[in-house]
Structure 1
Amino acid sequence: MTDSSLRDAAPEVFWTSRFTPEISDPVPDRATADLVVVGGGFTGLWAAVQAKQDDPDADVLLLEARHAGYGASGRNGGFLSESLTHGHGHGIARWPGEFPRLVELGRRNLAEIAKTVADHGIEADLRLVGKTTFALAPHHLGELAGLAALHERLGDRVTLLDADAARADVRSATYLGGLRIHDSGGLVDPAALVNGLTGLAERLGVRRFDRSPVLGIRRDGGGLVLRTRSGSVRAGKVLIATNAFPAPLRRIRPWVLPVYDHVLVTEPLSASQWASIGWEERQGLTDNGNQFHYYRPTADGRILWGGYDAIYHFGGRVDASYEQRDATHQLLARQFFATFPQLEGVRFTHRWGGVIDSTSRFTPIFGTAHGGRVAYAVGYTGLGVASSRFGARVALDLLRDEPSELTRLAMVRRRGIPFPPEPVRWPVVALTRHQMIRADANGGRRGAWLRLLDRFGVGFDS
């Protein structure tokens, strides 16, 4: 079944396969700008848009190594999360004192995204439909019950599902229960959102140049000089939004772990096939394992199915050849049909992978360099579709002369622990991944290694 279902799957991203991106010229030599944003994904686009909204007269220049949305921004699952802390459980454990404020900021951030999309007519299939997390093992039930109680204390509308209710909602015999979060978060077409933000940035006056990787940054008098393949660019200030890709500011690299995540998309399902699985509200779905799946419908009636494996390559290498991994795509296909055996015979039309910027604390890190003239926000660990806007706002605030409400947050001021250098990094990541798989198979009981990482707020995730 697996081989036949994947036989015709194109090795390309479903979201971006439906149109050809408009790729601009490289930046000319000796260009100048008040602010240069490095990276044309969600963080960079939101930074450029907000910078122009803050000061319409500012000269903002956006540099991208390939084209807007080439990286994770154009190839993710399209889940919008209100959480800025990789989930409420992680947030309250790591930042208990300011957690209520972080929840409020996350809600405001998502509301501002929805408002921007509506106000500017961005057609990105944005739907604030919440999500459901399913229990696949008995120990997940207690975890979801605790999470439900936390969401209720925060004012979220949630429903804790027993096995019958979970299977009545989405018909899979693998579900032992679930947690339906009705109003928090939703879904979006990520590539369409990239296109919409790119158009908005240009209408606001942002100058955008593709095929312009930044190779280095140095101070020069009262400003900065960025070295690109086509020449130098002079800037008053720089905002780095390279995320999983090697940053031109080398001090960022030890904090970011690039891991590869993989995805499948089915052909459009027939009405009878959809009826066989229910899923009437068409919300986003995940399961509750350490290694988890995420899945969702598309606007044209397909199912996107991804996650589970998080593959790190020695040396933190980022290479397009890693985007196709037969073993992982075959594993995902087997797991898909184990979840929905009633869909036997459905074929996958697209398969791809992408690199995610993970940090040891699961959330972005922020900082400055070159006397405060450079700021960065990197490391969203798979939840950057919405929180990248918040990260961009923080980085812009860091470039100002005065502290703000956001730059005073402990989440912004502290960065956690960097990953060790190679050759230590690879075996540490491999050990952690092995122990996570073992914990999932052992009733959720975390061994000594994972407990040690928990003590220091350190982990590995996608």
Structure 2
Amino acid sequence: MAAAAMTRALAASLADAEPVSFWLEDPGKPAVLPALTGDVSCDLLVVGGGYSGLWTALRAKERDPGLDVVLIEGHEVGWAASGRNGGFCAASLTHGLANGLERWPGEIKQLEELGARNLDAIEEAVARYKIDCDFERTGEIDVATRPHQAEELRDWHRETAELGFEGLEFLDQDALRAEVDSPTFLGGIWDRRGVAMLHPAKLAWGLKRACLDLGVRMYERTRGLDLVRSGPGMAVRTPYGRVFAGQVALGTNIFPSLVKRVRPYTVPVYDYALMTEPLTDEQLASIGWRGRQGLGDSANQFHYFRLTADHRILWGGYDAIYPYGGRLSAELDQRPATYLTLAEHFFTFFPQLEGVRFSHAWGGAIDTCSRFSAFFGTAHGGRVAYAAGFTGLGVGATRFGGDVMLDLLSGAETERTRLEMVRSKPMPFPPEPFAWAGIGLTKWSLARADENGGRRNLWLKSMDRLGLGFDS
């Protein structure tokens, strides 16, 4: 097909796409709670109404039902990354086994065990609180679409088996295409139990209801403006009042931390996704995706994709856009050039779905840190705890992060707080223009590696030695 004709066809597939997250348009969306007006006091204030804040508030009440917990959210619960992600709920706390093994080899077995227990606890909480979020423990397949990726996956499967990590199954080309049929697929590794698929916004809304049922006082459209000491505790000023709290847990992630020294550790990365219209039975049969696994390809600039409960395909990733200066803007939530690229790649992966149209196209910011996985800490003499830097893999890990924050606030040494992962920090990002230049060079180098058989240039090798990177 000529380039101009192809562009017109791709644009036509996007012509009716709503510029909002498919998940957030669900008719089951709960009513927004009133903003805080006046002053209130509590034992624990949680700032942020995404997964991080919701799990922290819920776990605090589960640990101590008598604790007076207040949660404030600047907009609406689940409206940001928690309502815009792909719905991959992974056991990994380290942004994948490979990243964890590279950074914390001495405790990776413990981290993997904690992650597995954390995912089991999420599944149990979904059942106990009757959260209708389409939770499916189908696992995820990491797929190779180029020969060097297939070799790398085979070597990785062999290495993990020798190290004693179980639960990963290597699929050759025929076995993989028997699960999901794409002419681009050359092999894969299936983690059968380590990932669940879910409806991300419904999970956030279900956690909101569970928190309210346990007695958490919650105020939406209530932004925390500053954080100061107040007597033996802390005070957070909001537009129409103040919250006085003995302790504060910050779950603001990509939004500027109320502890200013934490801000250089994260940068915003804009990620984008498409959602197809519901597939017909014939279209579903043409790709054979009966197991409903989540999938992601093995490239540095990777795609993630999965089926929804009503048989749509979510297709996201590839572009990871860093705005100069770390600027956050609603204007950046839409990027038509990326949507065209994603659509082109979609039909390359699944040419048998030619003619399918996209119903939604959206984007949003993810908090990325240089080690790819969350970091933690305290401030104001241990009265404030924070968790941030989940780097696109926070659907499950935020529950663990909530427990870490509560452990840190308690002052008690626990299995979690003894972890080097919890006690250490990533390298902060440099100021501008160095951050912009470094991230740009890294992205260019990663794209070159994808096109060059996976071979990493001198810049990437230097970043590897320093334990630094850029990812979404």
TM range (shorter): over 0.9
Whole-angstrom distance in 2 between the partners of 1:71 and 1:293: 20
Whole-angstrom distance in 1 between the partners of 2:41 and 2:164: 47
Residue 64 of structure 2 corresponds to residue 48 of structure 1: no
Whole-angstrom distance in 2 between the partners of 1:195 and 1:209: 14
- 1:266 equivalent in structure 2: 276
Stretch moving more, 227-236 or 193-202? 227-236
- 1:407 equivalent in structure 2: 417
Shift of 1:150: 4.6
Whole-angstrom distance in 2 between the partners of 1:355 and 1:290: 19
Q: 1:191 aligns with which of 182, 186, 201?
A: 201
Shift of 1:155: 4.7
When residues 139 and 23 of structure 1 are mapped into structure 2, their CA distance, relative to the original with a 3 A threshold, is same
TM alignment of 1:341-360, pairs within 5 A: 341-360=351-370
Q: 2:391 aligns with which of 370, 377, 381?
A: 381
Q: 2:140 aligns with which of 131, 142, 150?
A: 131
Q: Secondary structure at the match of 2:121?
A: helix
- 1:28 equivalent in structure 2: 37
TM alignment of 1:324-343, pairs within 5 A: 324-343=334-353
Shift of 1:401: 2.3
Whole-angstrom distance in 1 between the partners of 2:91 and 2:157: 16
Shift of 1:399: 0.4
Stretch moving more, 112-121 or 399-408? 399-408
User: Is the contact made by 1:156 and 1:184 (CA closer than 8 Å) also made in structure 2?
Assistant: no
User: Is the contact made by 2:24 and 2:79 (CA closer than 8 Å) also made in structure 1?
Assistant: no
Deviations along 1:270-296, one digit per CA (max 9) or x if unpaired, are 000011111110110110000100000
- 2:14 equivalent in structure 1: 6
Q: Secondary structure at the match of 1:243?
A: coil
Whole-angstrom distance in 1 between the partners of 2:159 and 2:392: 22
TM alignment of 1:313-332, pairs within 5 A: 313-332=323-342
Whole-angstrom distance in 2 between the partners of 1:47 and 1:381: 18
Whole-angstrom distance in 2 between the partners of 1:111 and 1:342: 37
Amino acid at match of 1:114: E
Task: Give the alignment's Cα RMSD to 1 decimal.
Answer: 1.1
Whole-angstrom distance in 2 between the partners of 1:145 and 1:91: 19
Q: Secondary structure at the match of 1:173?
A: coil
Whole-angstrom distance in 1 between the partners of 2:94 and 2:262: 20
Q: Secondary structure at the match of 2:377?
A: strand
Shift of 1:12: 0.8
- 1:61 equivalent in structure 2: 70
- 2:122 equivalent in structure 1: 113
Whole-angstrom distance in 2 between the partners of 1:356 and 1:127: 24
- 2:3 equivalent in structure 1: none
Q: TM-score, normalised by structure 1?
A: 0.98
Deviations along 1:82-133, one digit per CA (max 9) or x if unpaired, are 1111111111111010110000000000000000011121111111111111
Deviations along 1:389-435, one digit per CA (max 9) or x if unpaired, are 00111011110122211111000000020000112111111111111
User: Is the contact made by 2:264 and 2:428 (CA closer than 8 Å) also made in structure 1?
Assistant: yes
Amino acid at match of 1:18: D
Whole-angstrom distance in 1 between the partners of 2:316 and 2:272: 6
Q: Secondary structure at the match of 2:25?
A: coil
Whole-angstrom distance in 2 between the partners of 1:43 and 1:257: 17
Whole-angstrom distance in 2 between the partners of 1:154 and 1:460: 29
Shift of 1:301: 0.7
Residue 298 of structure 2 corresponds to residue 288 of structure 1: yes
Whole-angstrom distance in 2 between the partners of 1:115 and 1:156: 22
- 2:376 equivalent in structure 1: 366
When residues 150 and 396 of structure 1 are mapped into structure 2, their CA distance, relative to the original with a 3 A threshold, is farther
- 1:277 equivalent in structure 2: 287
Deviations along 1:343-389, one digit per CA (max 9) or x if unpaired, are 01100000100111110000111000000000000110111000000
Residue 101 of structure 2 corresponds to residue 92 of structure 1: yes
Deviations along 1:128-185, one digit per CA (max 9) or x if unpaired, are 1111111111111222123323554545333312222222321111111111222221
Whole-angstrom distance in 2 between the partners of 1:393 and 1:263: 30
Q: Secondary structure at the match of 2:135?
A: coil
Shift of 1:220: 1.9
Whole-angstrom distance in 1 between the partners of 2:63 and 2:192: 33
Amino acid at match of 1:165: A
Q: Secondary structure at the match of 2:23?
A: coil
- 1:77 equivalent in structure 2: 86
Q: Secondary structure at the match of 2:410?
A: coil
Q: 1:443 aligns with which of 413, 434, 453?
A: 453
Stretch moving more, 370-379 or 161-170? 161-170
Amino acid at match of 1:173: P
Structure 2: where are the runs of 5+ without partners?
1-8
Whole-angstrom distance in 2 between the partners of 1:78 and 1:193: 9
Q: Secondary structure at the match of 1:385?
A: helix
Q: Size of the alignment, in residue pairs?
A: 462
User: Is the contact made by 1:398 and 1:407 (CA closer than 8 Å) also made in structure 2?
Assistant: yes
Amino acid at match of 1:7: A
- 1:242 equivalent in structure 2: 252
Whole-angstrom distance in 1 between the partners of 2:167 and 2:414: 32
Whole-angstrom distance in 2 between the partners of 1:157 and 1:209: 42
Q: 1:208 aligns with which of 202, 218, 221?
A: 218
Q: 1:18 aligns with which of 2, 21, 26?
A: 26
User: Is the contact made by 1:156 and 1:183 (CA closer than 8 Å) also made in structure 2?
Assistant: no
User: Is the contact made by 1:28 and 1:230 (CA closer than 8 Å) also made in structure 2?
Assistant: yes
Whole-angstrom distance in 2 between the partners of 1:177 and 1:219: 56
Amino acid at match of 2:73: E
Structure 1: where are the runs of 5+ without partners?
none
Shift of 1:217: 0.4
Identity fraction in percent: 51
